[in-house]
Structure 1
């Protein structure tokens, strides 16, 4: 094995030029400079995986007489979000609107933008959140509308001289972003405020969420943080 490595080093002379994302490392026998194998690439005793990326040579799915494949360690608690790897306990911001924490292979996030609700008032009958150029978070503005809207117990306007024919008014749909999951593992609840309902009224809506399974919890498939997108 060592003699093969020496021949390999002599044949190539200068260190190889590695593709982007691949590190220059010593091979398995410590004799030659090689390009470390990346995620999903074949590996062996000589052609080692990139340890700086948390990769190991996984032989679990290898056929008899064949090499392994570079994969993440099973006990690795890091997270991969939007193609970037974060270590266990690391706090990161995938966007200006979210701050997240990697924990046990999964991750939880909290919003950085205010999710306050502004109800209509006499001096601001039609509040609306809009994107402001140069700012991350939406801000409230007061939008004046000339059309007359009936009280919130009705969602239509009557035609003059009729008792039953109604013309529905346009309801501008609005909602906050879904909140972070209430549980760091197992089933939790995420909430938001929205007017997407029959009466175009602001209400709190809820939905179930699952970041990852808790240790010892059965009946729920484990959800890892790897490969997630925000």
Structure 2
């Protein structure tokens, strides 16, 4: 019988900073009831990770995929990545810029969606393309603007079977996205704009529903309903996010 969900935590080559360590420690604590697997480059130094947990499971991929976030995005656009974990139904990809607020992972796996991720953080709401524009296709400049809105947005839940099927049916498009060095966060742009273009390959929640799944930490206002997770967290903004100001110092 398959596992329902596995948590995947990517570790890039760059040294983990104190904020990322805090996010890592919290993830291991709040998601301790689920299998957690680290993905890293071949020969990666994971000594910092081992300081937070004694026994770790690691799946290695070619080192170049972990040189930067752009390279990691290339890995997330390959069916081989998802196939490596085909012994479970879902993956929660949890980069070290996100914080799970409350353990609702089982709930979200049971909602019938194939892909859950909060939308981009855009300077103007009008920058989000409408349905007709999505079908017609965005220009390269529009894609770059849209992709920049996904900076630091490193949390998504996906159904493995549907992700691999989508990538295989859109192999050429995914290849073009993987090899576009000028497109930031190409993986997020692909899943948002291309996966359901012309034909619906993935069941996705509405904007309102996915705001309950995740929100940007800088947008969350205390007193409103907390989502499953906050994302877009970095050492540059964590001290300015109201949510973190309410946590005990031990956090």
User: Same fold by TM-score, threshold 0.5 exceeded?
Assistant: no
Which has more helix, going by share of residues?
Answer: 2
Larger radius of gyration: 1
TM-score calculated relative to the size of structure 1: 0.21
Larger RCO (CA within 8 A; separation ≥ 6): 2
Which has more strand, going by share of residues?
Answer: 1
